[in-house]
Structure 1
Amino acid sequence: MEATSSAPRRLLLVDPCDHCRRILPHLEEAGWTVSSQNLDQALAASYDIGLLRLRGDHLERAEGIKHLISRSGTEWIALIDPLTDTGAGVDEFIGEWFFDAVPLPVDLPRLQGLLGRAFGIARLRGIGNRRGDQNELLGQSRPLRDLRKQLARLGPCEKPVLIVGESGSGKELVARTLHRMSRRVAGPFVSFNCGVLPEVETANLLFGHQGKLASANGGTLFLDAVHELPPGQQERLLSCLRSKTLRHADGEVLSLDVRVLASTREELSDLVEQGTFHPGLCQWLEQNRLQITPLRKRQGDIALLAGYFVDLYSLEAGRRPSHFSEEALAAMVRHRWPGNVRELASRVRRGYALAENGPIEADDLGLQSAPVDGTLLGTLEDYKRRAEYQALCDALAHYSSNLSHAAKVLGVSRPTFYRLLHKHQLL
């Protein structure tokens, strides 16, 4: 395997098996510095690329894996245990969160090649993040335009904001944008995931002398997955927010000047009714609410975002910009995007690496065109509406940079094309 950088390349192997340990000398000979950790210890490790032996019990702790990967800022490869159930749900999970997957026992040349490509893409990913994640709010769909208007309105205010959206839809990105638009922009932006650690550790990390609340003083505290905050800590948090003070066990009292932003993929009001979320904290957080529309409901933005990501990776690699094949564009439009923009970025990174100098194909993205379902699903008008919607999405996927040409291809005037886009909320 050719070295992609003169700098040391650090590989973290999580929950290795005996076979995994036997291949370590070969990886070290190829220039990798390898360390091993279990899943619970991996958050504190330092590395360039992650390698996880994916077992059946890991899927029962999927949130822990998602948190590890999202916080790592790099690429991960899964080693699939032969006993792991590789059903549709597992395939979607791997496609959304991992650069690629290799079955055990490992084909060593294939793994080495994947590690080299993942390392190159991880470097581009880091450069891309420094260029400004706000570009991931690109899009001209009506939901995204409305979101940008809400951000402009809520950014300068001091009240809390609850950001509601599916996994991968960009909730932390929205929170960081709100922080950049606020008077607190020169202060710290502190992020805390509420659902990863046991309750005692959560309390120490959130309310301790050097905890997240204290660290965010003068700035913004982002409570990610606030619906998973242990019930025992919800009332304490509410008390701190209302009193604007943080009381430590030793009697020390710290005055708080913190704006709180929170995210959730659950409806807090439902959790209040179920008795698992504090009603007062729910009311406090819901003073302002931002709803992020999932990517599958703003298909007009898919091609634009995909083009942005692939152009970024091509630019940073010093290569000519890649392009998507017709099949790839159609596959992206038809995919349901359960992982939203994060999944799109991940699949484009993977496709960019695998396509090399040719067009990016659907297979490179890990996507296949969905089979046509012949079951009757509504009236003739329903079919007409769906066909019209799909035609618009296909036109946007192919000609998002030239709407006049898109209208011409569909055989309608430009005003009619815009009217149809607004009708289906694609613009």
Structure 2
Amino acid sequence: MPKILIIEDEASIRRVLVKILTEENDTYDVTEAEDGLEGTELIKDKDFDLVLCDIKMPKMDGVEVLESIKKIKPETPIVMISGHGDIETAVNTMRMGAFDYISKPPDLNRLLNTVRIALDRKELVVENTRLKKKVSKNYQMIGESDEIVHIKEMIEKVAPTEARVLITGPNGTGKELVAHWLHQKSDRNKGPMIEVNCAAIPSELIESELFGHVKGAFTNANKDRAGKFEAANKGTIFLDEVGDMSLSAQAKVLRALQENKVQRVGSDKDIKVNVRVIAATNKDLKKEIEEGNFREDLYHRLAVILIKVPPLNERRDDIPLLVDYFSKKIADEHGTAHKKFSEKALKKLKEYDWTGNIRELRNVVERLIILGGKEVSEKDVKLFATK
């Protein structure tokens, strides 16, 4: 049942509002406050789906209440109640974040329509927030080791900036996870995050994949096609395994970073792009530069901030936390009960040589959940966690 708070110092107006809301729709739970101070205290203690607030009140006027609510519960829609002389102020409150305003005396249809739209808007905001949290859960960073705490601190500092980031580390350590955290915690998080696995795309197609092409640029180019840089406009592009990119593509990426422009394959027309570039590699790019496989100028463009993700063998104390996280996640995926791991089983897992890092650990946990006992034992680990 939607909860509505009415903040109004005139008892007669409160009665009219309550009557309209309760008689026309008995699904509203209505609470009354006689002034702004009382209303603000109620907002602090309870969650309301909508607030109807008078503008002119003693002790604390409607503008002050609006400012306070926006700080305490910013997602709560607020409809201002304005007298004849308060219309200009009411309009100004909408610039401050009020959802709408209604005039005194309140018109039945106008009030009910405004309330319905405001409640629908609140429901949409809540659903969007829920979905965003659900997406974020796919990219949780699990661990309390010094190495992981350092990475989290780096992300908090770097994410809100426009600085380019180069993430290094062996395969399976979670470089993609770091990239997603950087995007989600940035000011670009409402824009797209486009991922490109440079190692998975043939060298002859990488330029078309990144920058697009025009019809007839090459065999099978049957129509114009936008590239990943264009798709990532106003968002983030993640160049995974950037060390596997061809020198020709590297030159074009360098130009895109320098000039914020790209050219589709087969075209000489510049297309402006506004993207933040995050790159990752499992290679030693300085060594690749010495061997002539990677451009030094591009390296310095990409590596404004360096984040090194350690192998699992260097953060063994995080293994029990990772096992617990993966076991719950896998149990949910399979629709089965969550299995616990004995202390001896966890101790045994901490002793393994995790050459495949986090990715390998997840596979082993899934295997143990499927094949192990009700509580995964040391014996189960010895039997099923084979290399």
TM range (shorter): 0.5 to 0.7
From 132, 139, 142, the equivalent of 2:137 is 132
Written as runs of structure 1 = structure 2, the 5 A alignment for 1:16-415 is 132-135=137-140, 137-208=141-212, 209-248=225-264, 249-315=266-332, 317=334, 319-355=336-372, 357-360=374-377, 361-363=380-382, 365-367=384-386
Aligned residue type for 1:247: Q
Paired with 2:261 and 2:321, the residues of 1 have a C-alpha distance of 45
SS of the equivalent of 1:198 reads coil
Give yes or no for contact 2:188–2:235 (8 Å, CA) kept in 1: yes
Shift of the alpha carbon at 1:132? 1.3
Q: Which residue identity is paired with 1:338?
A: T
One-letter code aligned to 1:259? R
Q: Secondary structure, in 3 states, of the residue corresponding to 1:266?
A: coil
- Determine the C-alpha separation between the residues in 1 that align with 2:354 and 2:171: 10
- Looking at structure 2, the residues matched to 231 and 306 of structure 1 have their Cα atoms a distance apart, in angstroms, of 41
Are the counterparts in 1 of residues 199 and 241 from structure 2 also a CA contact under 8 Å? yes
Counterpart residue identity of residue 133, structure 1: N
Shift of 1:367: 3.5
Listed as ranges, the gaps of 5+ residues in structure 2 are 1-132, 213-224
Change over 3 Å in CA distance of 1:240–1:130 after alignment to 2: closer
Q: Work out whether residues 341 and 375 of structure 2, in 8 Å CA contact, stay in contact via their aligned partners in 1.
A: no
When structure 1 is superposed on structure 2, of 183-192 and 265-274 the one drifting more is 265-274
Q: CA deviation at 1:310?
A: 0.9
- Measured after TM superposition, the shift of residue 250 of structure 1 is 2.5
Would you say how many aligned residue pairs link Structure 1 and Structure 2? 240
Closer/same/farther in 2, CA of residues 150 and 359 from structure 1, 3 Å limit: same
Cα distance between partner residues in 2 of 1:234 and 1:131: 31
Rounded to whole Å, the distance in 2 between the matches of 1:367 and 1:325 is 18
Deviations 1:190-235 (A, max 9, x none): 0001122222211111111421111111110000000000112111
Alignment partners' CA distance in 2, 1:338 and 1:199:
28
Shift of 1:251: 2.8
Give secondary structure in 1 for the equivalent of 2:139: helix
Residue 140 of structure 1, CA deviation: 1.1
Helix, strand or coil: the match of 1:251?
A: coil
Going from structure 1 to structure 2, the CA distance change for 1:194 and 1:319 (only over 3 Å counts) comes to closer
Distance 1:278 1:262 in 2: 14
Identity of aligned residues (%): 32
Q: Which runs of 5+ in 1 are unaligned?
A: 1-127, 369-427
CA distance in 1, matches of 2:321, 2:187: 31
Q: Which has the higher contact order (CA 8 A, sep 6+)?
A: 1
Q: Secondary structure at the match of 1:182?
A: coil
Larger radius of gyration, structure 1 or 2?
A: 2
Structure 1 residues 269 and 309 mapped into 2: Cα distance closer, same or farther (>3 Å)? same
SS in 1 for 2:204: helix
1:325 CA drift (Å):
3.6
The residue type equivalent to 2:376 in the other structure is: P
SS at match of 2:152: helix
The alignment partner of 2:262 has SS state of strand
Name the CA distance, whole Å, in 1 between partners of 2:315 and 2:186. 28
Secondary structure at the aligned position of 2:376 is classed as coil
Q: Distance in 1 between matches of 2:338 and 2:324?
A: 9
Question: What CA deviation, in whole Å up to 9, does each residue of 1:330-373 have, x standing for no partner?
Answer: 321111211111111121112111126342520464238xxxxx
State the alpha-carbon separation in 1 of the partners of residues 270 and 312 from structure 2.
44
8 Å contact from structure 2 (residues 330, 366) kept in 1: yes
What is the TM-score when the length of structure 1 is the normalising length? Answer: 0.53
Distance 1:153 1:290, change over 3 A: same
Residue pair 2:165, 2:279 contacting (<8 A) in 1 also: yes
| Contact preservation (8 Å) 2:195, 2:237 | yes
Instruction: Tell me how far apart the structure 2 counterparts of residues 129 and 354 of structure 1 sit (CA, whole Å).
Output: 29
| Aligned amino acid, residue 322 of structure 2 | L
**What is the TM-score when the length of structure 2 is the normalising length?**
0.59
Contact 1:354 1:364 (8 Å CA) reproduced: no
SS where residue 184 of structure 1 aligns? coil
Please state whether the residue corresponding to 1:199 is helix, strand or coil. coil
- Cα pair 2:167 2:306 within 8 Å, conserved: yes
8 Å CA contact 2:252–2:262 kept in 1: the answer is: no
Contact 1:327 1:362 in 2 (8 A): no
The aligned amino acid for 1:366 is A
Please say if residues 350 and 364 of structure 1, whose CA atoms lie closer than 8 Å, have aligned partners that are also in contact.
no
> Contact (CA 8 Å) 1:351, 1:364: kept in 2 or not?
no
1:248-302 deviations in Å (ceiling 9; x for gaps): 3333321010000000111211111111101110110111100111111111100
Q: CA deviation at 1:133?
A: 2.5
